[in-house]
């Protein structure tokens, strides 16, 4: 992509209506635009990142048997009355339709939709287990949206629901889902600071689990057991008398964290509400056992920015970088420079490498500053200097060192990464 063709512009000014680093920086760099509190447009760069995160999530869900579908955001009131959540889920956006007086909600989660859906197709133990999921925009009328992408009113969420014949089968899948989640955080560059965190299980089971990423911007406080590499949240810490639920470690480390995912054993709460049953091998009817597994691509995007940055801007992990390479030509009005840059741009594009090519007639300083702000994993510079040296300057965003490489070396280096 040619930067001269991108219609959004980076800015030096910090937007005054945002205080979180992720929102300030993503807005300045042209990834997102704010429409209202907790409601953002994903601009071309931002959508690329969001799509990459979603794709990672999709791949890891598919690997554990997930089946992707897409359920509606617009939900009829009746489904939510069946579970009694129409009146009790107070972050529900409600929509009245004056022409026929029918009421809807914009879905904040999808148990109310997926359970009756399963009911149309699950009759026998032979039909189980199933793992439908979707990646979809969720709506929650948060009393207070905050921290940019970390707590929005409209946000992207992957929610998978598992349906089982018994608790053992649920427990098995539950562990698979945990592993898949860690794979996702690894690919998003969050593995080192993300902890499986014991949370209250509500009425369904002893614990649910959150995935908490340590970050100053986080709104939760977690207590980490460094022996087991797990954590507990503030609901649990008191029950545990300050100790680890997994070992006899009494000294847990307190940190602020962002909840980037959570998994929950729903047991029969929703299957009972809708009467979702299956017939077992003996011909007896039993309620289906359920679990749910949430993870927020948009929230991950904000969290990654909080965790991976320096004072010049974002440092995207390789798999999330909006473009693998930021190609910069210094002195666009130098014919030789322009031709050389165009040549390598085409070369890289032909190798299916995603390149953002800064072909604008701006000063070198402006281009470098904006490049660091945007934060692509690799930077390649073409200038009078590099032409004299018969190569291309290559630099990682997370390193201060640069090197001059030949075309072949450059392509190799980028393709290997």
What is the binding site for RNA (CB under 7 A)?
9-20, 28, 36-38, 85, 88-91, 108-109, 140, 142-147, 151, 202, 219-220, 262, 264, 312, 330-333, 361-366, 368-373, 381, 383-386, 393, 395, 402
- Which is closer to RNA, CB of 141 or CB of 249? 141
Would you tell me how many other CB atoms lie within 10 Å of the CB of residue 37?
12
Rounded to an integer, what distance in angstroms lies between the CA atom of residue 250 and that of residue 138?
39
Task: Give the separation between CA 385 and CA 379, rounded to whole angstroms.
Answer: 16
CB of 144 to RNA, least distance (A): 4
Rounded to whole angstroms, the Cα distance separating 75 from 112 reads 9
Question: Is 363 exposed, middle or buried, given 0-12, 13-18 or 19+ CB atoms closer than 10 A?
Answer: exposed
Helix (H, G, I), strand (E, B) or coil at 137: strand
Q: Least CB distance from residue 384 to RNA, whole Å?
A: 6
Residue 329 has a CB neighbour count (10 Å cut-off) of 26
Shortest Å distance, C-beta 227 to RNA: 27
Q: Are 376 and 354 in contact (CB under 8 A)?
A: no
Nearer to RNA, 278 or 329 (CB): 329
Q: Which is nearer to RNA, 47 or 369 (CB)?
A: 369
Q: How far is the CB of 111 from RNA (least distance, A)?
A: 7
* 398/417 Cα distance (integer angstroms): 13
Token code pair at residue 358: 């800064």
Scanning 120-210, the segments in alpha helix (DSSP H) are 167-187
Nearest distance from C-beta of residue 4 to RNA, angstroms = 11
Smallest gap from residue 322 Cβ to RNA (A): 16
Q: Pick the closer one to RNA by CB: 219 or 227.
A: 219
Nearest to 344 by CA among 332, 334, 357: 357
Rounded Cα–Cα distance for residues 344 and 81 (Å): 60
Q: What is the largest CA-CA distance in the chain?
A: 81
Pick 119 or 205: Cβ nearer RNA:
205
Tokens of 101: 């007086």
Residue 353 backbone dihedrals phi, psi, to 5 degrees: -95, 135
Query: Smaller CB distance to RNA: residue 187 or 397?
Result: 397
Q: Which of 176, 332 has the CB closer to RNA?
A: 332
Q: How far is the CB of 318 from RNA (least distance, A)?
A: 19
Residue 316's φ and ψ, nearest 5 degrees, are: -70, 135
For the CB of residue 101, give the shortest distance to RNA in the complex, in Å. 23
Measured CA to CA, the distance from residue 29 to residue 9 in angstroms comes to 8
Q: Which is nearer to RNA, 9 or 241 (CB)?
A: 9
At closest approach, how far in Å is the CB of 43 from RNA? 14
Contact 262, 209 (CB under 8 A): yes
Nearer to RNA, 142 or 347 (CB): 142
């Amino acid at each position: 992509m040619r930067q001269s063709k991108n219609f959004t512009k980076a800015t030096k000014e910090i937007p005054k209506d945002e205080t979180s680093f992720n929102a300030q920086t993503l807005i300045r760099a042209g990834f997102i635009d704010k429409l209202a509190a907790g409601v953002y447009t994903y601009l071309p760069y931002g959508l690329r990142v969001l799509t990459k995160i979603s794709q990672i999530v999709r791949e890891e869900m598919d690997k554990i048997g997930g089946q992707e579908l897409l359920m509606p955001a617009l939900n009829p009131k009746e489904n939510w009355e069946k579970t009694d959540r129409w009146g009790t889920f107070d972050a529900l956006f409600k929509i009245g339709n004056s022409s026929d007086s029918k009421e809807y909600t914009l879905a904040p989660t999808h148990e109310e939709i997926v359970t009756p859906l399963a009911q149309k197709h699950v009759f026998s133990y032979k039909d189980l287990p199933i793992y439908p999921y979707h990646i979809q925009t969720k709506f929650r009328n948060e009393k207070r949206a905050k921290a940019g992408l970390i707590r929005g009113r409209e946000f992207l969420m992957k929610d998978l629901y598992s349906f089982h014949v018994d608790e053992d089968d649920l427990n098995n899948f539950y562990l698979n889902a945990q592993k898949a989640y860690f794979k996702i955080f690894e690919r998003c560059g969050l593995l080192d600071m993300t902890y499986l965190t014991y949370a209250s299980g509500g009425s369904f089971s002893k614990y649910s689990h959150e995935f908490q990423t340590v970050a100053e911007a986080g709104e939760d406080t977690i207590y980490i057991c460094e022996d087991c590499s797990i954590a507990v949240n503030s609901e649990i810490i008191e029950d545990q008398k300050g100790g680890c639920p997994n070992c006899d470690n009494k000294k847990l480390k307190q940190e602020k964290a962002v909840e980037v995912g959570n998994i929950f054993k729903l047991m029969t709460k929703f299957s009972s509400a809708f009467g979702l049953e299956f017939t077992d091998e003996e011909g007896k009817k039993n309620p289906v056992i359920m679990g749910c597994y949430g993870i927020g691509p948009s929230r991950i995007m904000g969290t990654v920015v909080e965790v991976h940055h320096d004072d010049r801007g974002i440092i995207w992990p390789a798999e999330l970088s909006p473009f693998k390479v930021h190609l910069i030509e210094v002195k666009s009005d130098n014919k030789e420079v322009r031709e050389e840059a165009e040549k390598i741009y085409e070369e890289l594009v032909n190798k299916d490498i995603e390149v953002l090519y800064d072909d604008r007639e701006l000063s070198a300083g402006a281009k470098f500053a904006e490049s660091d702000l945007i934060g692509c994993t690799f930077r390649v510079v073409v200038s009078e200097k590099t032409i004299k040296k018969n190569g291309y300057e290559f630099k990682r965003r997370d390193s201060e060192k640069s090197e001059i490489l030949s075309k072949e070396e450059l392509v190799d280096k980028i393709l290997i990464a």
